[in-house]
Amino acid sequence: MHTPDFLKEDWMKETEIRLSILEEVRTLLDIIVTAYTPIETILGRKPRGMLETEEKILERIENKTIYSVLYKSKVIGTFTIKLKESHNVMEIQKVAIIASMQNKGFGSYIIDSAEQMLRKREERVVVVETYGDHQKLVDFYKHREYKIIGERMRKGNIVYLMQKKLWRED
């Protein structure tokens, strides 16, 4: 269980992040697919999050790479932290929050918490991927000091690889 030491808002005291469990597979699948559905209109095609499966979630539970975000003991979100082998760095991916809890600070809370978890593991940098067409999300990460370090095409859409240094170099 992870309880961040930077709690700023009262609701954060009622929020918990922990490794996901088998009983949550269906809930996590629903949260991910639903959260990624609005991106379909931005991209003009289904984003990878909409193609999520129970099998992929089960694999991440077994590998201890997927986390559940609980608010007042109810699962409201999820994210995955795993090694991005092509760059040999840790990646935060599949961040998803139920619609009724979006735009309330939970996305920032998740990213801050994931970064703190990685700092405790003494990771130096973290990466995320996001669609270039999803400007709101690109700006979200830029605001959190992520820098675009690469881009590639995925099924006709630009995907940015964004990186953040977790430790100051001075």
The domain limits of the chain are: 10-123
Q: Are 125 and 162 in contact (CB under 8 A)?
A: no
Q: Find residue 75's DSSP bridge partners.
A: 70
Say if residue 90's pLDDT is above 70: yes
Give the per-residue pLDDT at 168: 72
Q: Are 166 and 123 in contact (CB under 8 A)?
A: yes
Q: How far is CA 168 from CA 36, 45, 119, 125, 165, in A?
A: 33, 39, 11, 10, 7
CATH 3.40.630.30, domain 10-123, yes or no? yes
Residue whose pair of structure tokens reads 């940098």 in the numeric block = 125
Per residue in 8-65, pLDDT tens?
Answer: 667 677 899 999 999 999 999 999 999 999 999 999 999 999 999 999 999 999 999 9
Q: Are 152 and 158 in contact (CB under 8 A)?
A: yes
Give the per-residue pLDDT at 6: 53
| Mean predicted confidence (pLDDT) in 70-90 | 93
Give the per-residue pLDDT at 14: 86
Q: How high is the mean pLDDT of the chain?
A: 92
Percentage of the chain lying above the pLDDT 70 cut: 93
